[in-house]
Amino acid sequence: MPFNDPHLLQQIFESVIAGALGLIGAIANFFYDVDKGNRSFSFKGMFFASVVGFVVGTAAGSFIPAGENFYGWTVVIGMNAYPLMAAMKDRSGAMLDRFFKR
């Protein structure tokens, strides 16, 4: 049975921790934006920001070496995940418009 392998369980656990830290950062950024008036509160928006933060935190956690700064970097990456994704979405739309107008 594959779940009897302690190495596999450790990798799954580390990925879940990295994702959860990214999720915490994304939710903190979401509430910061709501508090500053940059966006209105909605459960759908919070859910989307949480999913993006979890995925980005998990992906970034696989590249960051485990150590004392792992937790802090993962939360910071989670906080910046949604704004970077929104900027990429806005920019990619403009770039695609320019590309197809040729």
Q: Residue range 65-84: average pLDDT?
A: 79
From the centroid of its chain, how far is CA 87? 14
Structure tokens at 18: 């990295």
Centroid of chain to Cα 2: 28
pTM, two decimals, is 0.74
Q: Quick one: three-class SS letters along the chain? A: CHHHCHHHHHHHHHHHHHHHHHHHHHHHHHHHHHHHCCCCCCHHHHHHHHHHHHHHHHHHHCCCCCCCCHHHHHHHHHHHHHHHHHHHHHHHHHHHHHHHCC
Q: What are the extents of the domains in the chain?
A: 2-100
Query: Tens of pLDDT along 36-54?
Result: 898 899 899 889 888 888 9
